[in-house]
Amino acid sequence: MLHMIRLVVGATAILLGEVDLAQPGNDYFPLKQKTKWTYKVQDQTVEVVVAGTEKFNNEDCTKVDTLVNGKVVASELYSVKADGVYRVKVKDDKIEPPVKVFAIPPKKDFDWEIKSKVGNQSVSGKFKIKEMNEKVTIGSTTYDAILVEGNDMEIAGTKTKVQTWYAKNVGVVKLVFKIQEAESVLELTKYEEGK
C-alpha cells in the first residue's frame, strides 16, 4: 500500500504533479501563494501547497510542495509561457526540456508530444485535451472540467496511462493513473484559495 502511494506520488511529481498551475489569467490553475489542495489517494491524504516563487534558469517560477502526513515529499517548479504551463524541475532534478503539462489556451482535441529527461529518467508520450466540458462528480460536488489524457505515456521505461480533470477556479479535481496493471485514483476533498 505505502509502495503504491510512493509510486503514485513519484510518478505524479515527474509527470503531472498533484496540481498543475499557471499565472493569473488562466482560470484552470489558481496560483495564489498558500493556495492548498487536499486529495485522497486510496486511504491516504495528500496535500499540495503553492509555496512561493523561485528563480530557475533566469526565470521566475512557481514552487509547489506536495505533502504526505505533513512532510514535504516533492517540490516542483513551474514556468508559465504563452502556450502553456511547464514543469521545469522536480526535487533537485532539472527537466530537460521542460514538460508542458497544460496547453494555453485549452482547445478540444489539441495534443502535444512529451520527450524529456528528469535526472536519469526518461518521460515520453502525448497529451491530448479530450473534453472541454466533462461532468465529474466527487463526493457531493459536480464540476465542469477539462479532461486531459496521456494514454501511451512512458516513465522510466514503465507504460503509464494518465487522465486529469481540471475545473475552473479550482485546478486538478481528479487524477487517474494506470501504471502497468495497477490503477490509482486521486480525488480532491478540499480546496483552499490562498491570499
DSSP state of 20: -
pLDDT tier, 22 (very low <50, low <70, confident <90, very high otherwise): very low
DSSP state of 19: S
pLDDT, mean of residues 126-146: 96
Whether 14 shows a pLDDT value over 50: the answer reads no
The backbone torsions φ and ψ at residue 42, rounded to the nearest 5 degrees and listed phi first, read: 55, -120
pLDDT tier, 195 (very low <50, low <70, confident <90, very high otherwise): confident
pLDDT tier, 37 (very low <50, low <70, confident <90, very high otherwise): very high
**78, 86 contact by CB (below 8 A):** yes
Rounded Cα gap, residues 15 and 127, in angstroms:
11
Among 9-18, 106-115, 170-179, the least confident range: 9-18
Domain 2-192 carries which CATH code? 2.40.360
Rounded Cα gap, residues 160 and 14, in angstroms:
12
67 strand-pairing partners:
47, 72
The backbone torsions φ and ψ at residue 18, rounded to the nearest 5 degrees and listed phi first, read: -70, -20
Among 23-37, 105-119, 154-168, 173-187, the least confident range: 23-37
How large a percentage of the chain has pLDDT more than 90?
66
Output the pTM of the full model.
0.84
Going from N- to C-terminal start, the domains of the chain cover: 2-192
Rounded Cα gap, residues 104 and 114, in angstroms:
16
pLDDT tier, 26 (very low <50, low <70, confident <90, very high otherwise): low
pLDDT, mean of residues 66-90: 92
Rounded Cα gap, residues 163 and 51, in angstroms:
25
Rounded Cα gap, residues 14 and 11, in angstroms:
5
